[in-house]
């Protein structure tokens, strides 16, 4: 079946960039991205491409070329479903915050709503593509819901998990290590798989497109994220040992990464991994393992999260102990709030948890991030404290301990300490001599990303503490 009309449910960090690239590379296909969130769709349609809701290098360029030609953003979900031959589901699947599986399982209510809406609207056969990250065997649930109307419309469910990383999304989509397509091994299933292969074949080589059965595809996504996160927790665990033995974690990472069986990527010690995926997907895997009565497997993967929480806590504790065991009323400047550079996304950012620990100890947190506005930073903290059940009065008092700047110089002026939470390139180019002059002495730098030149800063007079450096 040759696809002429695609609809994507969910215009977020995945739906927006992936559909923009499909539209760019397949000009003969009409691509409509829909969302229930009106302001998000308005931002995708904003004439000024600087106002797109997702910040990603080169995204504005891609949207600028395809939008209005064969790429459309809309809130008219029903019409887009009706017109489409192929529907991608790219809605959020966060960790459940209530009921059965609270704090562990993926909340599939948004996905289920999509399936029910498609079942209600569809009048002709459609291919449904799981783009969201889902627990293994979700395709079975979707198929049951889709078939429940009994109106004769046939649905073929494919799994096509997304492997892009934020900050490099466009590059990752243009030149994917692989795309993965899972489907039923029936003639109809194979035909549906081929329709999706044909789309990616517009710009990827055949060897970059892997096809599997639907369950392997679903499980591969959770597995890939768990393996990636496991590498970070492994090197972060070793960073703690480096700090007490005078080994240097960057040197250790480099030494082991040259072993071709280990490889050099994803071995950068840090203040802890963040982002919307790693924690959520590992928790989901742990939950699935417990559900299938595999407690040893569950415990094994859960340790990746436990270590990550420890790493964030350890960083905050080091700031407090270095500042003579109290940060009460001290100005601690956070350089960076996003969970990594080149994105405006802050979900599960280590900065949130480090700030929480320091605020608990009475610190005044002064934040500068080139892409994250004040409202987002305060909303992140508010959300955390609301989940903890804090009263409104307590939340307001704690929010008053946070100051956000659009000028890094102001954020750094008269600070007791600087903490680097995100590895934005611009932090390396700052005039650190001038910053030193204007800070309280002794002036501390806690480099949670090991991006600054520690020797140079030490020569200026700073007391520098990196991750995994003695």
Binding-site members for NAD(+) are 10-15, 35, 40, 91-95, 132-133, 166, 277-280, 347
DSSP reduced 3-state for 390? coil
DSSP reduced 3-state for 363? coil
Using CA of residue 388, residue 389, residue 394, residue 396, what is the dihedral sign? positive
Is 115 a binding residue for ligand NAD by CB under 6 A? The answer is no
- Bridge partners (DSSP) of residue 71 are 31, 67
Kindly identify the residues of this chain, within the stretch 209-228, that bind ligand UDX according to CB under 6 A: 225, 228
- Which of 174, 203, 266, 300 is in the footprint of ligand UDX by CB under 6 A? 266
Is 172 a binding residue for ligand NAD by CB under 6 A? The answer is no
Q: Could you tell me how far CA 211 lies from the centroid of its own chain? A: 25
Kindly identify the residues of this chain, within the stretch 64-83, that bind ligand NAD according to CB under 6 A: 77
Q: CB-based burial of residue 62 (10 Å sphere; 0-12 exposed, 13-18 middle, 19+ buried)?
A: buried
Q: Compute φ and ψ for 95, nearest 5 degrees.
A: -65, 140
Contact 13, 345 (CB under 8 A): yes
What does 273 bind: ligand UDX, ligand NAD, none (CB cut-off 5 to 8 Å by kind)? ligand UDX
What does 274 bind: ligand UDX, ligand NAD, none (CB cut-off 5 to 8 Å by kind)? ligand UDX
- Which of 85, 145, 163, 257 is in the footprint of ligand UDX by CB under 6 A? 163
Contact 304, 230 (CB under 8 A): yes
- Bridge partners (DSSP) of residue 418 are 333, 445
Expressed in angstroms, the distance from the first to the final Cα of the chain is 61
Q: CB-based burial of residue 431 (10 Å sphere; 0-12 exposed, 13-18 middle, 19+ buried)?
A: exposed
- Residues annotated within a binding site: 10-15, 35, 40, 91-95, 132-133, 162-166, 221-225, 261, 268-274, 277-280, 339-340, 347, 449
| Residue 228 or 417 with smaller CB distance to ligand UDX | 228
Using CA of residue 205, residue 208, residue 213, residue 217, what is the dihedral sign? negative
DSSP reduced 3-state for 334? strand
Which one, of 309, 324, 332, 297, lies nearest residue 403 by Cα?
332
Is 182 a binding residue for ligand NAD by CB under 6 A? The answer is no
The residue with its CB nearest to ligand UDX is 275
Contact 447, 364 (CB under 8 A): no
Is 353 a binding residue for ligand UDX by CB under 6 A? The answer is no
Is 273 a binding residue for ligand UDX by CB under 6 A? The answer is yes
What does 284 bind: ligand UDX, ligand NAD, none (CB cut-off 5 to 8 Å by kind)? none
| Residue 162 or 369 with smaller CB distance to ligand NAD | 162
Report, as residue numbers or ranges, the catalytic residues.
Answer: 277
CA–CA dist 24, 289 (Å, integer): 40
What does 266 bind: ligand NAD, ligand UDX, none (CB cut-off 5 to 8 Å by kind)? ligand UDX
Is 162 a binding residue for ligand NAD by CB under 6 A? The answer is yes
What does 232 bind: ligand UDX, ligand NAD, none (CB cut-off 5 to 8 Å by kind)? ligand UDX
Is 270 a binding residue for ligand UDX by CB under 6 A? The answer is yes
- Which of 5, 45, 82, 110 is in the footprint of ligand NAD by CB under 6 A? 110
Q: Rule CB under 6 A: which residues touch ligand NAD?
A: 9-15, 34-37, 40, 77, 90-93, 110, 113-114, 132-133, 162, 164, 166, 276-277
């Amino acid at each position: 079946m040759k696809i002429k009309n695609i609809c994507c449910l969910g215009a977020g960090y995945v739906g927006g960039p992936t559909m923009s690239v499909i539209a760019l590379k397949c000009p003969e296909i009409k691509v409509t991205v829909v969302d229930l969130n009106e302001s998000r769709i308005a931002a995708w349609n904003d004439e000024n491409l600087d106002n797109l809701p997702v910040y990603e290098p080169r995204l504005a360029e891609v949207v600028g070329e395809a939008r209005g030609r064969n790429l459309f953003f809309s809130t008219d979900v029903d019409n887009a479903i009706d017109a489409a031959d192929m529907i991608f589901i790219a809605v959020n699947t966060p960790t459940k915050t209530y009921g059965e599986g609270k704090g562990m399982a993926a909340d599939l209510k948004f996905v289920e709503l999509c399936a029910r809406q498609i079942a209600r609207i569809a009048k002709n056969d459609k291919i449904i593509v799981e783009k969201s990250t889902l627990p293994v065997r979700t395709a079975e649930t979707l198929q049951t819901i889709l078939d429940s109307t009994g109106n004769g419309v046939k649905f073929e469910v494919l799994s096509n998990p997304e492997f892009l990383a934020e900050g490099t999304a466009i590059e990752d989509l243009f030149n994917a290590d692989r795309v993965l397509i899972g489907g039923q091994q029936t003639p109809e299933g194979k035909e549906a798989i081929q329709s999706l292969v044909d789309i990616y074949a517009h710009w990827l080589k055949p060897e970059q497109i892997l096809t599997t059965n639907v369950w392997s595809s679903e499980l591969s996504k959770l597995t890939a994220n768990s393996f990636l996160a496991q590498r970070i927790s492994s090197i972060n665990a070793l960073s703690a040992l480096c700090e007490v033995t005078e080994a240097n974690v960057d040197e250790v990472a480099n030494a082991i990464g040259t072993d071709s069986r280990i490889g050099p990527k994803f071995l950068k010690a840090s203040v802890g991994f963040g982002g919307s995926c790693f924690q959520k997907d590992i928790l989901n895997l742990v939950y699935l393992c417990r559900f299938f009565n595999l407690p040893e497997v569950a415990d094994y993967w859960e340790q990746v999260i436990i270590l990550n929480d420890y790493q964030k806590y350890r960083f905050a504790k080091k700031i407090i102990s270095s500042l003579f065991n109290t940060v009460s009323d001290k100005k601690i400047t956070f350089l960076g709030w996003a969970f990594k550079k080149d994105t405006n996304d802050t979900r599960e950012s280590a900065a949130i948890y480090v700030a929480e620990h320091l605020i608990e100890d009475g610190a005044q947190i002064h934040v500068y991030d080139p892409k994250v506005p004040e409202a987002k930073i305060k909303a992140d903290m508010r959300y955390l404290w609301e989940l903890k059940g804090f009263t409104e009065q307590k939340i307001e008092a704690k929010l008053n301990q946070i100051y956000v700047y659009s000028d890094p110089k102001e954020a750094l002026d008269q600070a007791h300490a600087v903490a680097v939470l995100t590895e934005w390139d611009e932090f390396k180019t700052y005039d650190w001599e001038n910053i030193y002059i204007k800070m309280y002495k002794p002036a501390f730098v806690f480099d949670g990303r090991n991006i600054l030149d520690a020797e140079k800063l030490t020569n200026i007079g700073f007391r520098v503490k990196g991750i995994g450096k003695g």
